Amino acid sequence: MTAALLTLADARLPAGGHTHSGGVEQAIAAGLVRDPSSLAAFLLRRLRTSGAVAAGLAAATTLSSSGRHRGQVPSPVPLSPTSPSSEEPPAPSSSELVAALLRLDDEADARTPSPALRAASRQQGRGLVRVGRRAWPSTAWDALPSAPHHPVALGVAAAAGGLAPRDAAAAAAYLSISGPATAAQRLLAMDPITVAAVTARLSPEVDAVAEESLSRATGSPADLPADTDPLLDLLAEVHAARADRFFAS
């Protein structure tokens, strides 16, 4: 693990994640989230479904972007004397990478049939590309489709930052609950210490999801986790139709 991972998972990274509640705003409106224990249950189901999908896609993207699946190691644009040295083989050719990232973006689409969730994911992906390009310059950014799904952008960011697929999976899993937890805190005016404790207590679950998703990221993209919670789809679509919402999703 490196400081790049901490930066990637930091809520202060201005990638636009703070405008999304991950379904929490609608879950509160539906009476499903109202206190710390119901918040913990909601975060857990989100983590184990969309969190697992995001972690798998992010890990697979990092793997593709860094060429590890061909026995290579990542070669991001050197940023500092500690960056990988020039004796490493090159990253996959740009057309190969474009095709691989497009394939992963297609797999993300197939796992995100809800138009509202697709829009939220692509919006956050675009936001991450904007900041990631500046933070971790790499040619891999140019291989992304415009407005990629967030986990795909996250995987490229991890590769560009010299991180491993495992780090990308961990960041994706953690981000699947950290933003929604903060949203709940704001909407319900919950005690920040309580919400921090709820999130921290899910750490073993976050690690387990990241590990399991990582283990499925090395094969065909078709084998990536596809865990779905129809409840989250419904909440997202009802939320998107509301005029009085506070969060974008």
Partner 1 sequence: MITRVEVVARRGPGGRTVLPVVRASGQLAVRRTGPTTIHLVATAFGPLGGDDAEVSLVVEEGASLTVHTVAAAVALPAREGDRPSVQRVRAAVAGALVLAPEPTVVTARAHHRAELTAELAEGATLAATEHVLLGRAGEEPGRWTGTTRVERAGRPLLHTTVALGPGAPGWLPPVAPRAYAATVSVGARLPVATGQDAVRLPLDDGWTATAWGTELHTVVRALAALEGVGEEVA
- Residues in contact with partner 1 by the rule CB under 8 A: 32, 38, 41, 44-45, 48-49, 52, 106-107, 109-111, 113-115, 222, 225-231, 233-234, 237-238, 241
Contact 35, 153 (CB under 8 A): no
* DSSP structure class, residue 72: -
| Minimum distance from residue 27 beta carbon to partner 1 (Å) | 10
Question: Amino acid letter at 112?
Answer: T
Which CB, 15 or 117, lies closer to partner 1? 117
Give the nearest distance from C-beta 144 to partner 1 in angstroms.
18
Distance from the Cα of residue 65 to its chain's centroid = 16
Select 11 or 110, whichever has its Cβ closest to partner 1: 110
- State which residue, 73 or 226, has the beta carbon closest to partner 1: 226
| Least distance between partner 1 and beta carbon 34 (Å) | 10
Helix axes 94-110, 52-66, angle to 10 degrees: 170
Q: How far apart are CA 193 and CA 202, in angstroms?
A: 14
**Joined tokens for residue 4:** 């790049």
Cα 169 vs. chain centroid, distance in angstroms? 8
- Give ∠ CA 205-210-215 in degrees, rounded to 5: 130
Looking at beta carbons only, is 131 or 238 nearer to partner 1? 238
Which stretches of 78-180 are assigned E, i.e. beta strand? none
Nearer to partner 1, 34 or 70 (CB): 34
- The encoded tokens of residue 235 equal 């909440």
Contact between 20 and 120 (Cβ < 8 Å): yes
Residue 25 CB, nearest approach to partner 1 (Å): 16
CB of 198 to partner 1, least distance (A): 14
